[in-house]
Amino acid sequence: MAGLEGGGFAIVPYAHPLALYLERAKSLLPPHSLAGWQIVLDTANGAACVSSRTVLEQLGASLILLGNTPDGQNINAGVGSEHAGTMGATVRGTGARLGIAHDGDADRCVLCDEHGAVLDGDEILTILALHALQQGRLANKTLVVTVQSNLGVDAAVTAAGGHVRRTQVGDRYVIERMLAEEAVLGGESSGHVICSELSPTGDGLVAALKVIDVMLATGEPLSALRRVLVKFPQHSVALTVKEKKPLESLPLLPGAIKSVEAGLGAKGRVLVRYSGTEPKLRLLVEGPTETVVQDAMARLLAAARADLEVL
C-alpha cells in the first residue's frame, strides 16, 4: 500500500501469484516453441491440473490429458508419476512426442519417450547435467543426488568432466548439499528435480520444461537423449522386521556387507538402512552384472534373516 495525503492509503494492484508463476514458467521456452507437439500430460488429479496444462498449451502444445479431474479425494488415485504405465501406454497409442507425469503436489516429474518408455529422475538429472556441462552452465560442475541414485549417474557425469555429490534420501538433504556446494542442479531418482536457479525446491513443471529445452536445443527425441545414462544392474529388497536392532550390533550382517563391498570394489555399491517411517530394513546392491548383483543380494538377505526376526 502507498500513503496518501491526509493519512489515507491506496491499494497497489498486484498480479495473482499463479499468474506470476505461469508467466515465469512459460518464459523458460521460446514463444510457440511447442507448436505441432502432441504431449500426454498426467497431473495426478492434483496441484498441477491448471498450471502445467496452461503453460504447455500457451507454448503451443496439443495435450492429451490424464488425471485432470480432481474431486478432492482422487489425488494420485491410479494416476500420476506413481502410475506412469498409463502415460506410457497412452503415448504409444497416440504417437505423442513425449509424456509428462507429476505427483499430487507437483514437485515430481517422470517422463516417457516417444516409444512410451518411462524415464525416472536419474535419467532426467543426467540429461540436464550433461547438457549444462556442455554449455558451461553447470555451477561448479556439480550434480547432487541421493544414495538411491544409480551409479551410472556418477559414471556419466564424471566422464563428461563433472562431479556427483551424494546425500541421504530426502529432498531437504539434497537442498542442503546443493547450498553447501553452490550447485544449481540436484534431485532424487523418484523424479524430484531441483533447479535452484529457478526454484528453491522441486518443481515438476520446471523439470519437464528444462528437458524439453534440451530436446529443442539438440533436435533429439527423448529416446536418444536418455542414452547418456547407462544404468548399472541394481536390485533392492525391503524386509519387514519385528525390531530395528542397531545394524552394527548384529552378528552377521555387518561382515556380509563388508565382504560384498570388497568383492564389488569400485564397480558396485551396497546400501543397507532402516526405513525412517516403517519397520523395514532396506537393502540395495549395484554391480557390473546381473549375476553379481543377485549373488550379492542373496548373501546379504541370508545374513539379515539370520540376524533379525523378519515378518
- How do residues 35-81 score in pLDDT, each as one tens digit? 999 999 999 999 999 999 999 999 999 999 999 999 989 999 999 99
Q: Is the pLDDT of residue 5 over 60?
A: no
Among the listed residues 63, 20, 21, the one whose alpha carbon sits nearest the alpha carbon of residue 39: 63
Please give the pLDDT value at position 37: 98
Pull the grid cell for residue 286: 549395484
Band of residue 16 on the pLDDT scale cut at 50, 70, 90? confident
Contacts of 75 (CB under 8 A, 6+ apart): 44, 45, 46, 104
Number of residues that this document lists for the chain: 311
Rg (CA), the chain: 22
Rounded CA separation 270/183 (Å): 26
The distance from CA 69 to its chain's CA centroid, rounded to whole angstroms, is: 24
Q: Are the beta carbons of 118 and 111 closer than 8 angstroms?
A: yes
Q: Quote the mean pLDDT of the chain.
A: 93
pLDDT in tens, 248-300: 999 999 999 999 999 999 889 999 999 888 999 999 999 999 999 999 999 99
Q: Which amino acid is at 80?
A: G
User: Phi-psi bin for 271: left (phi > 0), alpha (psi -120 to 50), beta?
Assistant: beta
| pTM of the predicted model as reported, rounded to 2 decimal places | 0.85
Question: In DSSP terms, which residues pair with 9 in a beta bridge?
Answer: 3
Question: Is 135 buried (19+), middle (13-18) or exposed (0-12) by CB count in 10 A?
Answer: exposed
The distance from CA 18 to its chain's CA centroid, rounded to whole angstroms, is: 24
For residue 169, CA distances in Å to 47, 179, 201, 275, 301 come to 24, 16, 15, 10, 22
Please give the pLDDT value at position 7: 46
Q: Are the beta carbons of 174 and 194 closer than 8 angstroms?
A: yes
Rounded CA separation 11/187 (Å): 40
CATH class of the domain at 234-307: alpha beta
Rounded CA separation 41/117 (Å): 15
Q: Are the beta carbons of 164 and 158 closer than 8 angstroms?
A: yes
The yes/no answer on whether domain 17-118 falls in CATH 3.40.120.10 is: yes
Among the listed residues 22, 27, 35, 29, the one whose alpha carbon sits nearest the alpha carbon of residue 213: 29
CATH superfamily, domain 121-228, is: Alpha-D-Glucose-1,6-Bisphosphate, subunit A, domain 3 (3.40.120.10)
Same fold for the domain at 17-118 and the one at 121-228? yes
Greatest alpha-carbon pair distance for the chain in Å reads 82
Q: Which amino acid is at 236?
A: S
Domain boundaries, the chain: 17-118, 121-228, 234-307
